[in-house]
Structure 1
Amino acid sequence: MAVEATAPGKAILFGEHSVVYRGPAIVLAIDKRARVVAERTDDDKIFFDALDLGFSGFFDGETYYAVNGEPWRGRRLLAFMVAARKTMEHLDTESGLNITIRSDIPVAAGLGSSAAVSVATVAAVGGALDGDLSQEDICSLAYEGEKVVHGTPSGVDNNISTYGGVLRYERGRELERFELEGELLFVIGNTLRRRSTKKLVDRVGRLMEREPELVDGIIDSIVRTSENGLEALKEANLNRIGDLMNVNHGLLSALGVSISRLDLMVHASRGSGAYGAKLTGAGGGGCMIALTDGENTGRIQKAIYRCRGEPHVVNISYEGVNTRRLD
């Protein structure tokens, strides 16, 4: 019996980089989803079909054997293998698995692709093995896979993919989840440039060491922007949300984490009618996000295309991970 699970990606609306030091990050689940189908097999191998990413292969123990694509691509599947094995350990079950991964979340763009696949993998494997996993179980088991990718991740990505909605994350405090009144429409622009979150966080850290008083003031301003941004979201005040997005982008640029293509896409989106626009995620490439209404969405998409970006129209997703049995 095969079980399908899907989980949403994410976008950070406020609080990038400042959240490393203090204050909240405001994170949205988006309606771009990862889809994983898992089926039990009679051997002890874990086979992955990720052909939309250009490769497939299987793990026999800890060793990866490529079927399609180069063997080194197995490193990209290691997190999901760990998530699958941790799920079997949790259920006190051993089995082989066929796992198929498909996703419409851009990869390595700061939109939570790996976490969404890890969450969906845990849910699909748990269902295929007749496990009764709670959302809390799914979230914590997916976190084990995320450790392979990010070392010691914050836990935001696996939480937002598990539960959906809007999250307020701050170190040392419990995650808070919100559902907003009305709908918010965004256009995400992908620069198609990969970047390293760790290198960008380290870059801000070195700037903090050189100019502690100045950078500390910027961090304080981002914290206030994030707190005000959550208030504006709760009020559904689109103009204020847009203003705060613009301010947040300027502060992130001051930290040196934007690049010219992100800036071009941000300003082109504002000039095409967006309420506000900013980079989302660590910067250095990846994506930007613009708040829009239905009337200007097409213009903003065209503006992003003209900047050689890849636009994606998204809504907030209040649906977290879900599963279903396939006939």
Structure 2
Amino acid sequence: MVTAKAPGKLYIAGEYAVVETGFPAILVALNQFVTVTIEDAAQYGSIISHQYQENSLYWRRDGDELVFDNRDNPFHYILSAIRLTEKYARECGKPLGLYNLEVDSDLDSADGKKYGLGSSAAVTVATVKALNEYYALGMGPENVYKLAAIAHLDVQGNGSLGDIAASVYGGWLAYQSFDKEWLASARRRHTLTELLQMPWPQLNIELLQAPTNMRLMIGWTGSPASTSRLVDKIADAKSEQWGEYSRFLEGSRSVLQGMIEAFHNADIRGIQDGLRANRILLASLADLSGVQIETPALTKLRSLAEQAGGAAKSSGAGGGDCGIVLIDRGIDTTNLLAQWAAAQIEPLPLRVHEVQDSEFHPVRG
């Protein structure tokens, strides 16, 4: 039996621009996890989620193919991760096994609230990590990232895959997406083994060290949003108003480069200024596209945090879900939390999931 886990994530800055090749973002991995357990099975394998037991999936082998007993299932990311990792395992000469795969997630609340912490990325990464151990493939973090990124992209079809990086590496990350058009072309010409060994153009993953006096606060506004649908809407606006969209991209690149440098210098004020500048850029993108990135609840969260001395904005695609606050640890936030409660904003008691420096190797594409 093998077990692997992957943390959830939140975007700090650089949303939407990071979907484009070569534009940076900052993310953080959180100490809530998806856990995947794999154990040998006899005649039938299974895929079972503790959160969705009524939709458990049973399967058997037909040669190297997975054959499912029920067609309609919610486990697309798990299945994509299995398919890609087992394809790589066969390229490595490994015989495929029959197993029970169990998924347990604490990224959502016990009563089913979805916090927008990147559960699809975390379950994809955890599945790849568990199969990596099950088949003794010996993949390091970079190859786990690449394989999970392909699996996730095959299902979602868009996005930056920064959430995959956060689930693989943990901690605070500066991330820049690879060229997805290059990947689509390279997949037609190369084996998975070759793809994992070659550099991916524009891919950049760097571990950041947050200032010791900086605290991350997270508030959930109770309005889950669909990232893929919001990204699709932005893509429509991009094609119609390329000039304004280009200015948004260049503004985002400049702000994020400044924020990353502020992390390097442990400059909390510089990081906060960058966060505020990024929020203004996202507001201009919302005006351009007609997409509501900052909902009224997120505006309330932000204004209350700013009054308390913090810098705040929406996290990720917006449209609901979480807002984030970066604030000096010396500031008493008792009154802010009380104001959030009165506004029906739920503080999430999450911490950054750090990794050991020895586990991390920067990725350059």
Q: TM-score range by the shorter chain?
A: 0.7 to 0.9
Quote the Cα distance in structure 1 between the aligned partners of 2:205 and 2:136: 31
Q: Is the aligned partner of 1:281 residue 2:309?
A: no
Which residue does the alignment assign to 2:305? 269
Which residue does the alignment assign to 1:89? 87
Higher relative contact order (CA 8 A, sep 6+): 1
Which residue does the alignment assign to 2:264? 234
Which residue does the alignment assign to 1:118? 124
1:100 to 92, 99, 102: 102
2:160 to 147, 154, 159: 154
State the 1:104 CA deviation. 2.5
Which residue does the alignment assign to 2:347? 311
Query: After the TM superposition, which of the residue ranges 254-263 and 79-88 deviates more from structure 2?
Result: 79-88
Pair 1:288–1:214, CA change in 2 (3 A) = same
2:204 to 166, 169, 175: 175
- Structure 2 stretches lacking a partner, 5+ long: 60-65, 179-200, 287-292, 357-365
- CA deviations over 1:11-37 (Å, ceiling 9, x no partner): 222211223346312222222222222
Quote the Cα distance in structure 2 between the aligned partners of 1:102 and 1:14: 29
> 1:101 is matched by which residue type in structure 2?
V
Pair 1:109–1:100, CA change in 2 (3 A) = same
Quote the Cα distance in structure 1 between the aligned partners of 2:4 and 2:324: 27
Structure with more of its chain in strand, by fraction: 1
State the 1:82 CA deviation. 2.6
Quote the Cα distance in structure 1 between the aligned partners of 2:165 and 2:54: 28
- CA deviations over 1:282-305 (Å, ceiling 9, x no partner): 111222111134443544444333
Correspondence list, 1:137-148, <5 A: 137-148=143-154
> 1:83 is matched by which residue type in structure 2?
A
Q: Is the aligned partner of 1:132 residue 2:161?
A: no
Quote the Cα distance in structure 2 between the aligned partners of 1:25 and 1:64: 41
State the 1:103 CA deviation. 2.2
State the 1:109 CA deviation. 4.7
How big is the alpha-carbon RMSD for the aligned residues of Structure 1 and Structure 2?
A: 2.8
Which residue does the alignment assign to 1:63? 68
Which residue does the alignment assign to 2:360? none
Decide whether the 8 Å contact of 2:222 with 2:321 is kept in 1.
Answer: yes
Quote the Cα distance in structure 2 between the aligned partners of 1:243 and 1:94: 52
Pair 1:129–1:213, CA change in 2 (3 A) = closer
Quote the Cα distance in structure 1 between the aligned partners of 2:248 and 2:136: 50
State the 1:148 CA deviation. 4.3
State the 1:311 CA deviation. 1.9
Moved beyond 6 Å, runs of 4+: none
State the 1:153 CA deviation. 4.2
Pair 1:90–1:301, CA change in 2 (3 A) = farther
- CA deviations over 1:149-175 (Å, ceiling 9, x no partner): 312443322222112231331444131
Identity %: 25
Q: Is the aligned partner of 1:198 residue 2:214?
A: no
Pair 1:144–1:220, CA change in 2 (3 A) = closer
Quote the Cα distance in structure 2 between the aligned partners of 1:64 and 1:303: 51
State the 1:228 CA deviation. 1.0
Pair 1:250–1:111, CA change in 2 (3 A) = same
State the 1:40 CA deviation. 1.6
Quote the Cα distance in structure 2 between the aligned partners of 1:98 and 1:57: 11
Which residue does the alignment assign to 1:15? 14
Quote the Cα distance in structure 2 between the aligned partners of 1:225 and 1:169: 14
Which residue does the alignment assign to 1:292? 327
Quote the Cα distance in structure 1 between the aligned partners of 2:54 and 2:154: 19
Pair 1:167–1:44, CA change in 2 (3 A) = farther
- Structure 1 stretches lacking a partner, 5+ long: 66-70, 321-327
- With the length of structure 1 as denominator, give the TM-score of the two structures: 0.82
Quote the Cα distance in structure 1 between the aligned partners of 2:317 and 2:55: 29
> 2:320 is matched by which residue type in structure 1?
G
Which residue does the alignment assign to 2:46? 46
> 2:346 is matched by which residue type in structure 1?
E
- CA deviations over 1:39-70 (Å, ceiling 9, x no partner): 1212242331x2235644123245354xxxxx
Query: After the TM superposition, which of the residue ranges 280-289 and 143-152 deviates more from structure 2?
Result: 143-152
> 1:169 is matched by which residue type in structure 2?
Q
Pair 1:96–1:12, CA change in 2 (3 A) = same
Pair 1:28–1:85, CA change in 2 (3 A) = same
Decide whether the 8 Å contact of 1:7 with 1:119 is kept in 2.
Answer: yes
